[in-house]
Amino acid sequence: MRQLAARSSPKRFENGKPFQYYNYEYKNNLFCLGSYFKDCENGGAAMSKIMEGMREEIREETKTKTAINLIKLGKLTIEEIAQVLDLSVEKVAELAKTKNI
């Protein structure tokens, strides 16, 4: 399973690891967590909290990548990008400086 996942996607993250590698690891971790919390009292609530944290990380990463792409396009101001993506103006300005855009 791991070999198929690692070979199937040319998309890579900034650290060079392929997207499917993380997808495999994510699914494997979910299985382990699910098994552990299924046997614990209030495990469902704890698992739900963990999943929400993971979803929030993905949302923030998506917003950051979108902001960088919009900055590169140069059609919107920093303030407009921040408003559209529900990010702070400071965060978008920092992204523009760090990425030398």
SS3 (DSSP) at 18: strand
Counting beta carbons within 10 angstroms of the beta carbon of residue 43, is it exposed (0 to 12), middle (13 to 18) or buried (19 or more)?
Answer: middle
Q: Is 82 part of a structural domain of the chain?
A: yes
Residue 12: beta bridge partners? Answer: 18
Q: Is 20 part of a structural domain of the chain?
A: no
Q: Is 36 part of a structural domain of the chain?
A: no
Residue 97: give the domain boundaries: 57-101
Q: Is 51 part of a structural domain of the chain?
A: no
Which amino acid does the sequence have at 87?
A: L
- Confidence category of residue 69, pLDDT binned at 50, 70, 90: very high
Dump pLDDT digits (tens) for 15-52. Answer: 565 544 445 555 666 666 666 667 777 777 777 888 88
- State residue 3's pLDDT score: 41
Q: Is 90 part of a structural domain of the chain?
A: yes
Residue 18: beta bridge partners? Answer: 12
Element (H, E) at 2: helix 2-7
- Name the domain count of the chain: 1
For residue 5, the tally of other CB atoms under 10 A from its CB is 17
Q: Is 27 part of a structural domain of the chain?
A: no
> How far is 82 from 88, CA to CA, in rounded Å?
6
